[in-house]
Structures are given as C-alpha cells and as structure tokens.
Amino acid sequence: MSADVLNTVTAADVSLPKQRSLRGFLAIPQGGFGVGLLLLLLALVVVGPFIAPDSPNEISDQPILGPSAQHWLGTDSYGRDILSRVLHGGASVILLPLLAVSAAMVVATLVGLVSGYLGGKVDSVVTWVINIALAIPSYLAVLVVVAAFGGGGAVVVTAVAVVYAPYITRVIRSATQAIAPREFVLAARARGESLGWILFREITPNIGPTLLVEIALRFTYAIMFIASLSFLGLGVQPPSANWGVMVAQNRALLLVSPVGVLVPALLIGVLAIAVNLIADALTQFFGDRIHERLMV
Amino acid sequence: MTTTQTARRDGDLAAEGLSVGYRGRAGLTQVLADVSVQLHSGRILGLAGESGSGKSTLALSLLGYRVSGQEILAGRVAFDGRDLDRASVKELRKVWGARLAYLPQDTATSLNPALTIRRHFVEGLRRHRGLDNAAALDRSAQWLARVEIPEPETALHKYPHQFSGGQQQRIALALALSVEPEVLILDEPTTGLDVVTQAHVNRLIVTLARDAGIAALYVSHNLALLATVCDELAIMYAGQIVEQGVASQVYAAPRHPYTAALIGAVPTIASDRPLHGIPGIPRPSVPVHACGFADRCRFRTDACDTDIPLVALAEDRAARCIRLAELPAFDPGAEHAPATVADRAAVPARNLDAILTVDNVGVVFARPGSGEPFVAVDDVSVRVPAGRALGIAGESGSGKSTLLRSIAGLVRPSSGSISYRGATLAGTAGERPVALRRAIQIVFQNPDATLNPRHTVYQSLERPLKLFRPDIARRERRDAVAEMMRQVRLAPDLLDRYPRNLSGGQRQRVAIGRALLAEPEVLLCDEVTSALDVSVQASILELLVGLQAERDLTVVFVTHDLGVLRAVADEAIILQNGAIREAGPTTRLLREPSHPYTKELIAAVPDPDRAAEFLGGGS
C-alpha cells in the first residue's frame, strides 16, 4: 500500500450522509398524522366546491331543517344548504391566514436578518419598535384597524400580518444573532462578501429550520385568529361562506340545529390541530431548540 | 496538616476483562473489549487515547456508572470485594463521593453555580464522614488552603463563578479529596485550562494524590502530560488497551506501532524531532477478529487480520501487536528526517523583505455596563518576513486571536496601522480592494463552525474561485477544486458531501483548501489544530508546513501550544495581556528565553524527561 493511498481520505472512508428524508418526517407520529389530516382537509377545500350539491348562497323556502337525504347537514335560518356552505367555506379559512403569515414572514425575515446581523444602532431601533408593538394586545390592534378601514379579507390579512410581524422578527433576529458570530460567517466577511450574500446565502439556510417551525406555528395561530375575527363579524363578511362566519350565524340555532355550528367549528379545530402537529413534528425533525415564545 | 490515613488495601479497584457496548438504533456497538486495569494506592495510572477510543467509557465504568443503552458484555469491575458493575444504585451511592471520587473536565458539571463553596464541602463531609458543621467547615478551609486558594475562610462564602477556571478546578479537586476517598478518577481535569494554570493544577493533583495514598486514574489525550505525571501508562485504541507499562518506559521505548506513532505526533519544545501525523481516522468501535489499528499502521501484514491478544513482555509491560517479536522497540526521537522548519532557519529573517507590517496596533473594546474599556491588543508592532512563518503564542485573553483578526480585516484596530507590501490596509475586509482580500486568507479554529453546514464541500471551495480567480473559467472550476482537494489529501469524491459527514480534521483540510484556492500570499491560522486529536493535529501541521514550502507562503500562526509553535514557526512573538513580551527566532526563544513570562510558559509544558522539575517547580 503506497503512502499516498494511506494519506488521502476518500468518500469510502466517510460515513454516508444521513438523509433527512420526507419519509423520516412522516415516520414521526405527529408528522404523519398532521400531514394526513391536512391533506384530507385540503382535498375537501379544493374538491368541495365542485361536488357541493347546491350553490352556497342559494336561499330555499325550507329554513332550519335537520339532516335529511336531500340536505345531509340540514339548512340554516335562510334555508341555505349547510353541506354546500361547508364545502365552499374552507378556502378562505386556509387562504387568508396563509397570506397573512407569508406577508408577515417576508417582512420579518428581512428586518430580523438585518437587525440581528448588523447589531448596533439598527438593532436598537428595531428592538425598540418590536417591544412597543408587543405591548399592544393583538385583538385590540386589529379591532382598531378594522374600525378605521372597515372589515373584509384584505384589511384583516394586512392587520394580522402587521400584528404578527414583530413576533416573527424577534425569533428570526435571535436565530441570526446565534449564527452571525460563527466562523463561516467571519470567513465570508474576510472574503469581502456582500451583505446580501452573507444574509441570504450564509445565514438564512442555517435558520431555515427555525423559520419553518415558526411559519407552521404562526399559521396555526393565524387560522384561529382570523376565524375568530370572522366569527366576530370583523373578517370575512356575510353572506360569504366561511367556517368562522357560519359558526357566528348559526350560533342562535345551536340548540335547535347544532350541526350548523358543530361541523364548521370542528373543521377549524381539526385544521388548527393538523398544522400544530406538523409544527411539533418539524421541531422534532430538526431537533432545534425552540425559542421561548409568548402565546398570542 | 494532620489527617490520619487509614490503612488501604492494595489494588482495591480493578476492571477485569471488561467489555462494554452501547445499544442504539443501529444495533449494538462495542466500545470496550477485554479491558483489564488495576489501580494501586499511592500510584497514578495514565489512560491515553484519542477521542472515541473508549477512555471516558472506561473511566465511568470503573465507577459503576451506567448510561442508558449501555451493556456490560463481559468481565467485571471489582472494588473491595464487590462487583460495581452489578451493584444497586443504593450501594453505589454509598461509595460514590465517599470512597470513589470523580473529577470531570468541566467544573460546570462538578460545581453548582447556585451554591456557595461552603455548601459544596459541608454536604459531602456531613453525608460521607458524619462531621458536624463546625468540623466540616474547619476541614473545608484546610483543604482550600492545600489547593492554594487564597484566603480560604473568605473563599468558603463565595460562589463558584467568583473564581477563575483554574481556581474552580482546584476547588473541585479539594472537594473530591476532602472526604478522603480511596480512589480518584480524573477525566481530562486540566484540558480546558491555560498552560500555566494546567501545570499548577497538575502539580497539586499529583502531590495531593500521592500524599493521601490515593489510587488514581488520570484520563487524557495528552501523552506527554501523562508520561510526566503518571506512574503507569495504558494506551487505548478502538476500545482495547494496546500497550501498558511503566510510564517512562512506554514513552521512551514504545513497543506498539500506535504508541510510537502517537508519541511521534505529540509536538514537543525540547527536540528538533519533526511531527508526523497518523494517516486515516481513529475507528469508533472495537474491531472484529482484526487489529484495530491495522488500517493506519505502517507495519501491517496479512497476519494482522486476526484476534490479537495482549502479550506480556515483562512483569509490568504488555502490548497488543502480532508482530511484537519481529519489531524492535521504537525510538520516537530518531524516526524520521529533519524538519523543513529547521532548514529554513539558515537565512536570517532580518535579511528578508517584510510582506506584512504591523505598526503600533491597539484594539480596544468598549465594555457594556462599565466605563472602563478593555484593551485586547496593546501597541503591538511586528514585521512578518515574506515566505516565513510567524508564530503568535500566548494564553487565552492574551489578544493573539484579536491581533490576527485585525490583520484579516475582521476587527478594526483602534490605533496604529497594518500594511501589506508597503500599502496600508483598510480596517475592515469590505473596504479593502479585491487584490488585497485575495492576498490575505484566514483559517479558523473551530472545525464545527468553519464551514457553512448548509453548503456542500464543493460550494464552500468554489466561492473563493468565483470571487478572486476570474482567470479560471466556470467549467474549469470543478477541476481546480478537485486538484486542491488532492493537495489537502482529500479525495474529490467528497466534494458533494456536507460538512456534517466529515471529521474535524477533514473539515480543517477543506478550510485550508478554501483559503489556498484564493492563491494567497499570506495565510493566517487561528489555532487551527487546537480542537483536533494529536494524531490529526500532526497531519494538519505536516500538511501546512509542506504547503508553505511548496507555495512559498507567508504564514501567521496563532497558538497556545509552544510545541506547535516550535513545529511550524520560524519566528515567534509571545503575547501577554495584549502586549508583546518577547520576540525572536522560535528555536532560540524556546531554548534561551529572556523574559520571565516566556520562562514561566516554557516551565509549564509537561516534559517526561524533566518530570521531577515539572512536578516540583514553580508557584
């Protein structure tokens, strides 16, 4: 055996890369169950409008019917088919929080990265703003916005995004602070890399797990938050079919015809649980310590 | 001090044919095989080995300590007529602390930050020795005095964080010894400490353990230290003891090829002997029907693929090698050709042009909360001759890394200037022109953080080419990177792996490759080997010295280890509290130090040939 062969390390000498596969994620009980539930709900929401027996807003002369062969879940006080409204009413329940969280995430990631990496005065200002923002109760802030601009999907999405952004910024900022002094970042600085490269190519991939867990958790909160706002009449406006709105409208008939409240409420709950399970599984999957969080 | 020593029985604690495995997802991994050691009162047994060799598992097994998933496959741990490996937790709690003491590397695990020193002592003394409060306090103060803690009475009322790292480890030692145990297990007790502090703590350990007639096991990766402080030495590799015997004999005339290679890899300040790394990486588990060291051994033959017994060579000497009869005892001093460093010393450095000049550089950090700023680097001036290696040595906090980082443009100097070939360098790398950023490259200390964990090896290596080498076309980059991999002794098929799949030494090779791909004139090295095993350290230093000669590089090498300094540096400066204490050619500086601080540093380096001096001298 020549000395050179002995001296050179080849791939055969090194353990095989451990793949973090999708299969591995699904093998975590929460992951598999959460993804299963979410896929089921997504199927319901996507396919629902096509298989709904009636139009969601078609008013019939048969209000407040119990479940029957014609109306599987009965009708509401306007005589609208509850099953059709359930099948149509999921899209906005998922879409609005998704939009709100995505918008908040984009802003928060930018601000958190810059503030965490640069530190100094920039960071002081950002921290100051975050602290003030966190001192304002979420519902109150959104109520003020809605009172000023009126209800509706767009306003609620914007308001929720603005309210959530500081929470997410704080998480991204502290994750960035943990990565910034590491030597591969110093190496990049010594090479004279641009700020953009350092933030997005060196740091961002390493806070990816934190980011993903945070997205999933915030999404859960946002689903509940926006559904609650819709219930309060501040979010999606009637007569739109929306699970939150349905719970609010059928509430009066809870004792007479409970299906109209229970089914949409249950679906919101299942959706939130599914996303929460996924968030939990993501944390386990990446094995990263979750930062301390305040609940909304 | 008058503590009456009870009569002790010889060889109270022993492992007999101990085999231990861990059960994990991948099934059972055996980490100890047929290990027999015996501790004798008043004597220290040194246990040496690289990380993963099983030495810490053995230390903990000797205490009867069990980790979940751990299984005793064969053998026993005998202590005073009972089997510790089978003892109940209740029985173990009676002997732990009272008769068997353990001193871990990190005082964070031995001292509770929320309790005063007094509480630490009193708890053990009351529980294990039945002393009342007053007697316990008296005894504690005596022990603090014996480990040379100033004002022991006052010290008792302080908390651990109010002491320095070395003091904390001395307190932990006093704590372990105060209950007068029969056995003391030391697991790398001085590894995290500065050299001078290390020497102090080691002197205390040896003196106190011998005085008290304690049977001690000293676990360390530092073979020179063990050969200096221990009576007997056992060398572990891949979960087996490959050689054991009287410490001085094993160190002077090793019989197993691994022991010889390990000694050859330890940097020393005493001789001109060049360093030689051990090729390959240590194996993590016990070999099956083979010699564990065979794949890294120069003397390997087909006969090595069999179970190899530990053969007794003399009454107290044994080794585990199939070719013992044919191979003579090794002479670690005269193995190889002279060093390249020594050759270069022929041309005096002052006759060479300076490539890098540091003029009166100071670095001052504002300390949040207090008005007093912290002076990390204090008015340092040094010139680095082209093509030479300058070593910067000092203890932690001496400002050596800060100085290096200010040259790299990562820390802006508060005063003074740094110039490269006569041109003044801007304070931060971002403000320097591309050509200057290319010319000065830096390699860092921590192999876990030096590469971006989310970039493949290729992505990390390609980056300097993109930035600094427009002459290399995009499709030729992969070839250039592959060629660099070969130069740092890695195969190009590792290029698509992520850093987590590489060992520490391999990551440092990639980091060196990344720096060299920029074709720098100056390579800055910040403690690049301090986190690595000695055998790996020696390979990296060998590589660096080779590449430096080949490419006519100028190297600035920061280290706390004077042996490493001697192996790589032509010229050296010694820093203390940010200021230069002494400067000059490395060999002369180490042979005829003139500054008291340099002398103190040199005296703190363990040297088996001057063991008596090391253990008797100083503070």
Q: Taken in order A139, A145, A148, A149, is the CA torsion positive or negative?
A: negative
Average pLDDT (B222-226) is 90
Say which residue, B275 or B54, is predicted with more confidence.
B54
Task: Identify any residues that bridge with B523 across adjacent strands, giving them in sequence order.
Answer: B441, B555
CA distance B137 to B125: 9
Average pLDDT (B140-152) is 92
∠ CA B74-B95-B57, rounded to 5°: 40
Q: Taken in order B360, B361, B366, B370, is the CA torsion positive or negative?
A: negative
**B240 contacts B19 by C-beta, under 8 angstroms:** no
Q: Average pLDDT of chain B? A: 87
Identify the weakest region by mean pLDDT among B32-41, B62-71, B510-519: B62-71
Average pLDDT (B169-174) is 92
Q: How many CB atoms lie within 10 A of CB A174?
A: 15
B108 close contact with A: CB closer than 8 A: no
Res. B397: pLDDT tops 70: yes
Helix, strand, coil tally for chain B in percent (to 5): 40, 25, 40
Considering only the beta carbons, identify the residue of A184, A190, A193 that sits closest to B408. A190
Average pLDDT (B305-323) is 87
Considering only the beta carbons, identify the residue of A6, A183, A193 that sits closest to B280. A6
**A258 contacts A67 by C-beta, under 8 angstroms:** no
Res. A1: pLDDT tops 50: no
Average pLDDT (B446-461) is 91
Res. B406: pLDDT tops 70: yes
Tokens standing for residue A46: 């996507």
Q: Average pLDDT of chain A? A: 81
Res. A10: pLDDT tops 70: no
Backbone angles phi, psi at B513, to 5 degrees: -60, -40
**What string of H, E and C letters represents the secondary structure of A242-290?**
CHHHHHHHHHHHCCCCCHHHHHHHHHHHHHHHHHHHHHHHHHHHHCCCC
One-letter amino acid for residue B148 of the chain? E
Contact B486 A205 (CB under 8 A): no
Give how far B212 is from chain A: nearest CA, Å. Answer: 46
Residue B98 backbone class (left: φ over 0; alpha: ψ -120 to 50; beta: rest):
alpha
Res. B54: pLDDT tops 90: no
For B386-491, where are the E strands, in sequence order? Answer: 389-393, 415-420, 423-424, 440-443
**Which pLDDT belongs to residue A20?**
59
CA distance B161 to B352: 49
**Which chain B positions have a beta carbon within 8 Å of A192's beta carbon?**
409, 429-430, 432, 434, 437, 467
Peptide bond into A53 cis (omega under 30): no
Contact A15 B408 (CB under 8 A): no
CA distance B209 to B295: 39
Q: Which of the listed ranges A215-229, B285-299, B570-584 does the model predict with the highest average pLDDT?
A: B570-584
Average pLDDT (B106-123) is 89
**Which pLDDT belongs to residue B352?**
73
Tokens standing for residue B120: 């630490």
Confidence of residue A155 (pLDDT cuts 50, 70, 90): confident
Residue indicated by tokens 């080849």: A10
Q: Strands B44-48 and B215-220, how do they pair?
A: parallel
Confidence of residue B27 (pLDDT cuts 50, 70, 90): confident
Res. B325: pLDDT tops 50: yes
**B512 contacts B246 by C-beta, under 8 angstroms:** no
Give how far A273 is from chain B: nearest CA, Å. Answer: 30
Max alpha carbon distance in chain A (Å)?
93
Say which residue, B139 or B275, is predicted with more confidence.
B139
Contact B444 A183 (CB under 8 A): yes
Chain B 275-304, CB below 8 Å of chain A: which residues?
Answer: 279-281, 296, 300
B501 close contact with A: CB closer than 8 A: yes
Residue B172 backbone class (left: φ over 0; alpha: ψ -120 to 50; beta: rest):
alpha
DSSP A84-131: HHHHHTHHHHHHHHHHHHHHHHHHHHHHHHHHHHH-HHHHHHHHHHHH
Most A-contacting residue of B440, B452, B523 (CB-CB within 10 A), to test interface: B452
DSSP A126-146: HHHHHHHHHHS-HHHHHHHHH
The single-letter DSSP state of residue B296 is: G
**Which chain B positions have a beta carbon within 8 Å of A205's beta carbon?**
452, 454-455
CA distance A46 to A39: 10
Give how far B498 is from chain A: nearest CA, Å. Answer: 8
CA atoms within 13 A on the CB side of B465: 21
Q: Strands B571-576 and B579-585, how do they pair?
A: antiparallel
**Which chain A positions have a beta carbon within 8 Å of B460's beta carbon?**
184
Confidence of residue A12 (pLDDT cuts 50, 70, 90): low
**Which chain A positions have a beta carbon within 8 Å of B24's beta carbon?**
none
Chain B 329-388, CB below 8 Å of chain A: which residues?
Answer: none
Contact B491 A9 (CB under 8 A): yes
Res. A150: pLDDT tops 70: yes
Contact B491 A11 (CB under 8 A): yes
**Which pLDDT belongs to residue A290?**
37
pLDDT 10s digits, A86-139: 888 878 888 888 899 999 999 999 999 999 999 889 999 999 999 999 898 888
Give how far A12 is from chain B: nearest CA, Å. Answer: 9
**How many pairs of residues across A and B have Cβ atoms under 8 Å apart?**
99
Average pLDDT (B166-172) is 91
Chain B 380-439, CB below 8 Å of chain A: which residues?
Answer: 405, 408-410, 428-430, 432, 434, 437
**Which pLDDT belongs to residue B390?**
94
**B552 contacts B382 by C-beta, under 8 angstroms:** no
Residue B266 burial (10 A CB sphere; 0-12, 13-18, 19+): buried
One-letter amino acid for residue B293 of the chain? F
Closest alpha carbon to A210 in A249, A170, A240? A170
**Which pLDDT belongs to residue B432?**
93
Residue B356 backbone class (left: φ over 0; alpha: ψ -120 to 50; beta: rest):
beta
Average pLDDT (B236-257) is 92
pLDDT 10s digits, B333-381: 554 444 444 455 555 556 678 899 999 999 998 877 767 888 999 999 9
Contacts of B267 (CB under 8 A, 6+ apart): B275, B537, B538, B541, B561, B563, B564, B566, B567
Tokens standing for residue A164: 């959530």
Contacts of A122 (CB under 8 A, 6+ apart): A114, A115
DSSP B141-181: HHHHHHTT-SSHHHHTTS-GGGS-HHHHHHHHHHHHHHT--
Confidence of residue A15 (pLDDT cuts 50, 70, 90): low
**Which pLDDT belongs to residue B338?**
40
Helix (H, G, I), strand (E, B) or coil at B316: coil
**Which pLDDT belongs to residue B43?**
92
Closest alpha carbon to A65 in A248, A260, A243? A260
pLDDT 10s digits, B588-607: 999 999 999 999 999 999 88
pLDDT 10s digits, B476-535: 999 999 999 988 888 888 888 888 888 888 899 999 999 999 999 999 999 998 888 888
Residues listed for chain A: 296
**B482 contacts B542 by C-beta, under 8 angstroms:** no
A182 close contact with B: CB closer than 8 A: yes
Considering only the beta carbons, identify the residue of B280, B432, B493 that sits closest to A192. B432
